[in-house]
A and B are shown apart, each in its own frame.
Chain A
Amino acid sequence: MSTIEYTSRPVPQILVHEVHKPRHSRQWLDWVTTTDHKRIGIMYMVLTFVFFTLGGVEALLMRSQLSVPNNTLVSGLVYNELLTMHGTTMIFLFVVPVMAGFGNYFVPLMIGARDMAFPRLNALSFWLLLLGGIVFYASIFWHPPEAGWWSYPPLSSKLYSPGGGQDAWIFLIHLTGLSSLVGAVNFYVTIVNMRAPGMTWGRVPLFIWSILIYAVLLIIALPVIAAAVTMLLTDRNFGTNWFNPTDHGSPVLWENLFWFFGHPEVYIMILPGFGIISEILPVFARKPIFGYKAIAASTIVIAFLSTLVWAHHLFTAPMPLVVLGFFMLSSFLIGIPTGVKIFNWTATLWRGSLVMTAAMMWAIGFIVLFLIGGITGIFLATFPVDWQLNDTYFVVAHFHYVLVGGAVFTIIAGTYYWYPKMTGRLCNETLGKWSFWVTFIGFNLTFFVQHALGLSGMPRRIYTYQEHMGWSTYNFISSVGAFIMAAGFVMSFYNFARSYKTGKLAGPDPWKANTLEWFTTSPPPVNNFDAVPRIRSVEPMRDIRLEVEAQTGALQKTGGSEQFSRV
């Protein structure tokens, strides 16, 4: 289909196509040296899914160890290493960078740009991430870190963690932090400067809003953790005493610095997921998103408040009562914009015409699980209740509802939704739905019972427990659930791998979607757009489709999935 005819005004034509023959013999070199945001995006996603698998295996080992009381599968040392690797991997090497992967691929496409603002910096971001992952995982051949992803001193000091793994962890934070920081600046500049003509702030897709705020939060939070781990590094190796209590240093200083980064980090992980959901729901509900402005505004409010709630991680630390009260109230406040989002998503479904694709099922599953995670967050924000629940399995359940039921479900939903655009082929829908149900059931088996474990007094991070504590049944259920959940994720991974060769051809716009990335072929050409259409609403692709229908009188059939027809 010709794209030129439907642009409303002439734009500078930059028709860049391959002028030299592709070097088929050295295709890998093209990937290594690429500055194309789409290739970088795909490399991000493949790499982060590899880390997701590693982190998942670590989780399964921990669940195996805890499946029965007094288990000796792993020692206390190995268990601590596993929990450190699992947390660090999932946060720094999976959820945060996979969102950068989605952002890389889709930010330029959705705003009608031909690439990111700084393509070579973009490549640098990716390679720094890979380096960080290598530095970190290389430590398994020596001494993996064992002080947890939060690495509270003095446990993470040279005295109590003499191994080099802790330094590898510090190095990982620096490398991935630099990667994310460079990427964040790139996203910010791209979104602010390179939007298509007519794409005012009120017409920016909600995923773009979320990536913009993700970038701003990264720029706010990352320098703090970079400073903190540098202080830890000098404490460990160069004789400073920032956090050393025997020389007037303060472990509580680390706790504050860490969580000043750590809580915005939570929203760095979940906000892009919110954006993905805000794109998927209107497409498959066949109606406009409910309350566009409220969703965009709530993203900004959440980001602002997220920098003011960090000490709710420290309710049991030495803190004055007035501080506890302040952070309880600020944490409550953040529940309001989050509630606004859930309300708007639910209202988007209301009186729609719901096409239950795999992407839609993962998206609706997300709303339900995130709702539970949000409600349990209110328990933990109430500081006297937190005195009982902090550092128990209740917290483990809470943040896995937010980060797995929340972030990871949005990642899988987004992958099902955008897979046709990235590969040109559709995934197997039936397998995608099976994968959803298996994961959903496995997830709830794993984590719902952990609320009960926490309430009955089981602390986190213990590598074994005694039978008389009465935790055996719930732990066994949780471990069985973990394997069911893993099977569900494997089904989706298999689906993604197999559909690359065998999936039905998708065509440019298989879902009849709303945003500009569907204006291109699937996968998009190197230059994305020969001509950038003028944007007249928040649903430019729908405008184009309706205009074509009005001019030609023919219902637009796009791609290979007419079953998802739209009235």
Chain B
Amino acid sequence: MALFFPLAAGIFFASAQTASARCCTLKTGASPNATAIATLYDIILGLGVSVFLIVFGFIAYSVWKFRASKHPVAAQFHGNTRLELSLTAAATMILVVIAAATFIALPTIIDPPNSNANVGSVLSASLTAPVPPNGKEVTICVMGRQYIWRFTYGANCNKTAWQDRLPYSYQEMEAPAGEVVKLVIQSSDVIHSWWIPALGGKVDAVPGFTTYTWFEALHSHELYHGQCAQLCGREHAFMTALVNVVTPAQYEAWLSQQGTAIQSQNDQVAQVRRYLVKQGILTPSGNF
């Protein structure tokens, strides 16, 4: 089977690639999981198109060849058990091939590869979900809410983000190139679905659940577009997301800059609050 897979992949990949890449195939090349899914898709496309052409060919030939004006006497037969069983077996074989291809491709899609570079203090070794063999990965929390995505950067970003003063951003995610980025996906209101097509499949953000996915953006200075894929309300169409892939160094610089900016904003808010409390406009607990 290990030999069969590349062979079949080669044949069908070639036929799928001859079709216009813009209409009929999935995005490849940005992240290994997305590329593996696209390869699996190409195999199914090759098989599917072949099956369609064969069956459609038989139907079209029958309609042309056996129309009443050309073929006035119909052959009276009720079936052919041997033919029936062989075609059923053939259909089964096609599905067995697809199932085998899926399980062979699966590790590439769900298990992240090793990533070697260190990206400062945001590295984490999570026990829960996608971990590369050497345990080095970047963790980013994705929180969906009507109608924007919030990204929090750093280990334990879904637990102690506030205490750890982790940097965050909205709508546009910064990500380091060449690193395995683990995404921890949650929702604070209704069901959303996280999806950047170039960086792999979608994962639902379901309130009350935590889901995980990962990507490894291979090229820096790329901007990938995606948007929420589950109806989440009236402005669902505008719940978009961008992933800005930068070099690891730029990523670290951005993190500290974002952290500083957030800190200074927080400081200003605290200052205003102290002033308002002093004036008696606000109670110490923050109520008017």
Contact: A155 with B190, CB < 8 Å? yes
A146 on the B face (CB < 8 A): yes
Binds B, one of A119-127, A339-347, A417-425: A339-347
B88 on the A face (CB < 8 A): yes
Binds A, one of B155-163, B166-174, B233-241, B279-287: B233-241
A327 on the B face (CB < 8 A): no
Decide yes or no: A328 and B52 within 8 Å by CB, A349-B63, A385-B37, A387-B37 being known contacts: no
A382 on the B face (CB < 8 A): yes
Binds A, one of B134-142, B200-208, B242-250, B260-268: B200-208
Q: Which residue of A lies closest to B90 (CB)?
A: A339
Residues of chain A lying within 8 A (CB to CB) of residue B229? 316, 390-392, 459-460
Contact: A350 with B62, CB < 8 Å? yes
Distance from A80 Cβ to chain B, minimum over Cβ atoms (Å): 6
Contact: B88 with A388, CB < 8 Å? no
Instruction: List A residues 144-193 near B (Cβ within 8 Å).
Output: 146-148, 152, 154-155, 160
Contact: A456 with B59, CB < 8 Å? no
Instruction: List A residues 313-355 near B (Cβ within 8 Å).
Output: 316-318, 321, 325, 328-329, 332-333, 335-336, 339-340, 342-344, 346-347, 349-355
Decide yes or no: A349 and B68 within 8 Å by CB, A290-B78, A316-B204 being known contacts: no
* Candidates A346, A354, A456; contact of B68 at CB < 8 Å: A354
Instruction: List B residues 86-118 near A (Cβ within 8 Å).
Output: 87-88, 91-92, 95, 98-99, 102-103, 105-106, 109-110
A376 on the B face (CB < 8 A): yes
A292 on the B face (CB < 8 A): yes
Decide yes or no: A388 and B37 within 8 Å by CB, A148-B231, A290-B79, A379-B44 being known contacts: yes
Distance from A433 Cβ to chain B, minimum over Cβ atoms (Å): 13
A555 on the B face (CB < 8 A): no
Decide yes or no: A455 and B25 within 8 Å by CB, A154-B189, A335-B91 being known contacts: yes
A375 on the B face (CB < 8 A): yes
Residues of chain B lying within 8 A (CB to CB) of residue A292? 78-79
Per-residue B-contact encoding for A383-396, CB less than 8 Å = 1, 0 else: 11111101110000
Contact: A155 with B48, CB < 8 Å? no
Contact: A388 with B74, CB < 8 Å? no
Residues of chain B lying within 8 A (CB to CB) of residue A560? none
Per-residue B-contact encoding for A282-319, CB less than 8 Å = 1, 0 else: 00011111111110000000000000000000001110
Per-residue A-contact encoding for B55-90, CB less than 8 Å = 1, 0 else: 110110011001110011111111110011001100
A77 on the B face (CB < 8 A): yes
Q: Which residue of B lies closest to A80 (CB)?
A: B234
Distance from A555 Cβ to chain B, minimum over Cβ atoms (Å): 15
Residues of chain B lying within 8 A (CB to CB) of residue A340? 84, 87-88, 91
A32 on the B face (CB < 8 A): no
B277 on the A face (CB < 8 A): no
Q: Which residue of A lies closest to B207 (CB)?
A: A245
Residues of chain B lying within 8 A (CB to CB) of residue A344? 79, 84
Q: Which residue of B lies closest to A293 (CB)?
A: B79
B131 on the A face (CB < 8 A): no
Contact: B68 with A353, CB < 8 Å? yes
In the assembled complex, the Cα of A285 lies from the Cα of B234 at a distance in Å of 51
Contact: B37 with A245, CB < 8 Å? no
Residues of chain A lying within 8 A (CB to CB) of residue B226? 457
Per-residue B-contact encoding for A127-152, CB less than 8 Å = 1, 0 else: 00000000000000000001110001
Instruction: List A residues 237-292 near B (Cβ within 8 Å).
Output: 245-246, 248-252, 285-292
In the assembled complex, the Cα of A379 lies from the Cα of B16 at a distance in Å of 14
Decide yes or no: A382 and B227 within 8 Å by CB, A251-B207, A316-B204, A351-B75 being known contacts: no
Binds B, one of A203-211, A462-470, A500-508: A462-470
Residues of chain A lying within 8 A (CB to CB) of residue B189? 154, 160
A364 on the B face (CB < 8 A): yes
Residues of chain B lying within 8 A (CB to CB) of residue A355? 68
A29 on the B face (CB < 8 A): no
B220 on the A face (CB < 8 A): no
Residues of chain A lying within 8 A (CB to CB) of residue B233? 76, 80, 155, 160
Decide yes or no: A388 and B98 within 8 Å by CB, A350-B62, A353-B71, A567-B73 being known contacts: no
Residues of chain A lying within 8 A (CB to CB) of residue B88? 336, 339-340, 343
Contact: A76 with B235, CB < 8 Å? yes
Give the size of the chain B interface in residues (CB under 8 angstroms): 82
Contact: B237 with A462, CB < 8 Å? yes
Contact: B87 with A343, CB < 8 Å? yes
Contact: A146 with B234, CB < 8 Å? yes
Decide yes or no: A452 and B44 within 8 Å by CB, A285-B74, A387-B200 being known contacts: no
Contact: B98 with A332, CB < 8 Å? yes
In the assembled complex, the Cα of A409 lies from the Cα of B64 at a distance in Å of 21
A371 on the B face (CB < 8 A): yes
Contact: B24 with A455, CB < 8 Å? yes
Residues of chain A lying within 8 A (CB to CB) of residue B204? 316-318
Give the size of the chain A interface in residues (CB under 8 angstroms): 88
Contact: A384 with B84, CB < 8 Å? no
Residues of chain A lying within 8 A (CB to CB) of residue B274? none
Per-residue A-contact encoding for B166-209, CB less than 8 Å = 1, 0 else: 00000000000000000000000111010101001111101111
Q: Tell me how many residue pairs across A and B have CB atoms closer than 8 Å.
A: 254
Residues of chain A lying within 8 A (CB to CB) of residue B102? 328, 382-384
In the assembled complex, the Cα of A152 lies from the Cα of B88 at a distance in Å of 38
Q: Which residue of A lies closest to B20 (CB)?
A: A452
B40 on the A face (CB < 8 A): yes
Contact: A456 with B40, CB < 8 Å? no
Distance from A201 Cβ to chain B, minimum over Cβ atoms (Å): 17
Decide yes or no: A384 and B91 within 8 Å by CB, A155-B191, A378-B44 being known contacts: no
In the assembled complex, the Cα of A336 lies from the Cα of B93 at a distance in Å of 10
B23 on the A face (CB < 8 A): yes
A356 on the B face (CB < 8 A): yes
Residues of chain A lying within 8 A (CB to CB) of residue B75? 287, 351-352
In the assembled complex, the Cα of A507 lies from the Cα of B13 at a distance in Å of 57
Contact: B77 with A287, CB < 8 Å? yes
Q: Which residue of B lies closest to A468 (CB)?
A: B225
* Candidates B76, B80, B200, B206; contact of A251 at CB < 8 Å: B206
User: Which of A83, A248, A286 counts the most chain B CB atoms within 10 A?
Assistant: A286
A75 on the B face (CB < 8 A): yes
A73 on the B face (CB < 8 A): no
Distance from B279 Cβ to chain A, minimum over Cβ atoms (Å): 36
B26 on the A face (CB < 8 A): yes
Instruction: List A residues 61-96 near B (Cβ within 8 Å).
Output: 75-77, 80, 83
Residues of chain B lying within 8 A (CB to CB) of residue A329? 99
Contact: A382 with B66, CB < 8 Å? no
B51 on the A face (CB < 8 A): yes
21 contacts between A and B (CB under 8 A): A75-B234, A76-B233, A76-B234, A146-B234, A154-B190, A155-B191, A246-B208, A318-B211, A335-B95, A339-B91, A343-B55, A343-B87, A349-B66, A353-B67, A382-B40, A382-B98, A384-B102, A384-B106, A384-B110, A452-B24, A462-B237
| Interchain residue pairs A-B with the least CB separation, the first 8 | A387-B201, A245-B208, A462-B237, A245-B207, A76-B234, A353-B74, A349-B62, A351-B75
18 additional A-B residue pairs with CB within 8 Å, beyond A154-B189, A382-B102, A390-B201: A147-B231, A251-B191, A285-B74, A290-B78, A316-B204, A325-B103, A350-B62, A351-B71, A353-B73, A384-B105, A386-B201, A387-B37, A387-B200, A388-B26, A391-B202, A456-B23, A462-B237, A465-B237
